[in-house]
Amino acid sequence: MTSDRQDFLDVIVQVASAEAAVELLSRFDVDCGCRPRLWPQPHGRKAIAGVVDEHTLAALRDAGYAIEVVGSASKRWQRAHALIVRHADADRPAVPRGVGRYGKDLARES
Amino acid sequence: MTGYYDLVGVEAAMAALEAAYPGLCVRIPLIHLSIENRQTHAIRINDPSAGANHGVLITSCLHANELGGAEIVLGFASDLLGAYTAQTGLAYGQKTFTRDEVNTVMRSVDVIIYPVVNPDGRVFCQSGNPNWRKNRNPGPNGTVGVDINRNFGFLWNHMPPGMSPEPPGSRSYAGASADSERETKNLQFLVDTHPNIRRLLDIHSDGEHVLWGWSHDELQSTDPAMNFMNAAFNGQRGALFDGYKEYMPATHQAKGKLVAAKVADAIAAVRGKQYALLGDANKYYPNGVFGLATDYFYSRHLVNPTTRLIQTWGIEFGTETPVSSWPEMEQIMADVGAGICAFCLDAAPKFGWPHAEVTPAWADWVNLAAEVVRVSSSVAAGGSGTTTPRGGPPEPVPPPVPELRALIDQLNALVDALTGQSTSRDRGATSV
């Protein structure tokens, strides 16, 4: 989903039930991350949160789903890209430095 | 630190740990190069002078876009080795592990860490494709990539009723066949060449969850015939709230939940993050998922009863994939580092549950015997103060019944014989 130049959108799709959510995931390419999750909504409704491209968004709307676009996944990924590309190799110590504390202040603990 | 490791950095970090802590940290080369010819390593951390150890395997970055897993496990490795060498405790935020606990992990547990199971995916992810999840294995019709955590030979390519398998090119494509991927084979190699591995913790993002149990359906412990090998139930698995639930012995469910609770408790103690415990396919609600590494490795002892039990857990760290901001990631490293340390500590015989080569029937018997020992010990302890059962609140010690001593000794001997180790006397710490 990330290799072409389409915009990708973070969306919340309302569904009536778990069965309806399964049907949605079977018919449409909704990227739900590592785990599809069905979130409870007010008034007994449920929703799937995920990422869709513009074509899928249109298809979902055509199929009658209520969709809320909550953000741009493409922009979120651009921000992520800036974070995950290492810019300063020299700053990183050869031996990885954890975030735990040990040493004198914990020397007496046993 | 300034950001997330690239693959070269991950490999260099492991080499540096091996050089900095000779004998305590040893690199393990994985046997299969990736499809893009990349070599990966795991590391084994222990004090070999302490003798034979129980093994835990900690894996991360099966999914390329869950980058922080490598930072978490490498940071923990460095912390554990540093604290042990300094002979001090280890603290993450408000959570402290004592020096004795650090020593216990290093001297009685083989901590095997495989930081980046999916090397090609990580390189691609960090090269302008930040949401890339799969490996880079070419597929049919110009498609690329297999979801490694759908490729394992456990109900491979199954789908819930009404759903079709993911086609080539889709984000969770399970591959051309079960166990087809080199990354899958590498994990199998790692487990098969380390027969002391009894537990596996697979780290993913996101969701702030500690996972245990099956991933494809709900759990039950009353009908052993309702299981993934029984063809009579084909076509029913993966849908929730129907008649099918997957069998898991009650003892394994209890152990799974208990260890997950210990991990979550340690995480919460760092800065208050509450990771939820999710024990069955409801964690993938609205439908179960198939072909996961955790389910595969746990299922092996059921498919072939002569193989050892490997119980498995997972962590979904953080709230954002691909990555959190770096300051938040450092906090997550502390959270999950504490959880991993608690996981390793529980694997030590002194603190954890039995580690026998068990069939389900043996597990029931071992745990029943262990519970009798625990209660009996508290009775014999003197009748005042409290006893703290594993995973539970303090309970009053019942009145003394000294004549139980002989029975306790007999049961201790029985548990030791079943588990092959002298662990039973440590269960049920009594404070008076």
How does pLDDT run across B319-341, given as a tens digit for each residue?
A: 888 888 888 999 999 999 999 99
Distance of residue A95 Cα from the nearest chain B Cα, in angstroms: 5
Q: Tell me which of B160 and B227 has the higher pLDDT.
A: B227
pLDDT value of position A34: 74
* pLDDT number for residue B324: 81
Beta bridge partners of B276: B209
**pLDDT exceeds 80 at position B290:** yes
- For A61-99, write each residue's pLDDT tens digit: 999 999 999 999 999 888 888 888 754 455 566 788 889
Nearest CA distance, B399 vs chain A (angstrom): 32
State the pLDDT at residue B150. Answer: 96
**Alpha-carbon distance B306 to B314, whole Å?**
25
Q: What is the pLDDT of residue B421?
A: 47
| Structure confidence at residue B67 (pLDDT) | 92
A16, pLDDT greater than 90? no
Q: Which residues contact B51 (CB under 8 A, 6 or more apart)?
A: none
In this predicted structure, what is the pLDDT of residue B375? 52
When pLDDT is averaged across residues B305-312 and rounded to a whole number, the result is 94
Band (B429; pLDDT cuts 50, 70, 90): very low
ipTM of the shown complex: 0.83
Average pLDDT over residues B132-150: 97
C-alpha to C-alpha distance for B14 and B142, rounded to whole angstroms: 35
Residue B299 has pLDDT above 70, yes or no: yes
Report helix, strand and coil shares of chain B as percent, to nearest 5.
40, 15, 45
Closest CB to B78: pick one of A21, A86, A98.
A98
Helix axes B68-86, B326-347, angle to 10 degrees: 60
B338-367 average pLDDT score: 67
- pLDDT at B103 exceeding the cut of 50: yes
Cα nearest neighbour of A35 on chain B: B284
Average pLDDT over residues B412-431: 45
Give the mean pLDDT of B54-58.
95
Whether residue B170 lies within 8 A of chain A, CB to CB, comes out as yes
Higher pLDDT, B357 or B131: B131
Mean of the per-residue pLDDT values of chain B? 85
- Mapping DSSP to helix (H, G, I), strand (E, B) and coil, where does residue A12 land? strand
pLDDT for B352: 52
For chains A and B, what is the number of CB pairs under 8 angstroms? 188
Cross-chain residue pair A34–B4, CB shorter than 8 Å: no
Tell me what percent of the residues of chain B surpass a pLDDT of 70: 80
Per-residue buried b or exposed e for B47-56, using 16+ beta carbons within 10 Å of the residue's own CB:
beeeeebbbb
pLDDT tens-place string over residues B367-408: 555 455 445 544 554 444 444 444 444 455 454 454 556 666
